[in-house]
Amino acid sequence: MTRKTFSIPKISCGHCVMAIRNELAEIPGIRKVEGSPAGKTIEVEWEAPATEERIRAVLSEIDYPAA
């Protein structure tokens, strides 16, 4: 299992975190998504077939690109 914290400058509230969580949860292999509006970060845990590249692609698609 892989765990990574992504910096997401566009996060401004809990709703942003929930939107990101809902979208990333649709990727097969995503196990956990937690976010911090104050820190403008999300922490994601995943295993195959999910990849960091796919996570970053989805974040960009939903207009919350990782820094």
Confidence of residue 65 (pLDDT cuts 50, 70, 90): very high
User: What letter represents residue 40's amino acid?
Assistant: K
Sign of CA dihedral 20, 26, 28, 33: positive
Domain 2-61 sits in CATH at 3.30.70.100
* pTM: predicted TM-score of the whole model, two decimal places: 0.93
Confidence of residue 12 (pLDDT cuts 50, 70, 90): very high
Where in the chain are the domains?
Answer: 2-61
30-36 vs 2-7, strand pairing mode: unpaired
Confidence of residue 66 (pLDDT cuts 50, 70, 90): very high
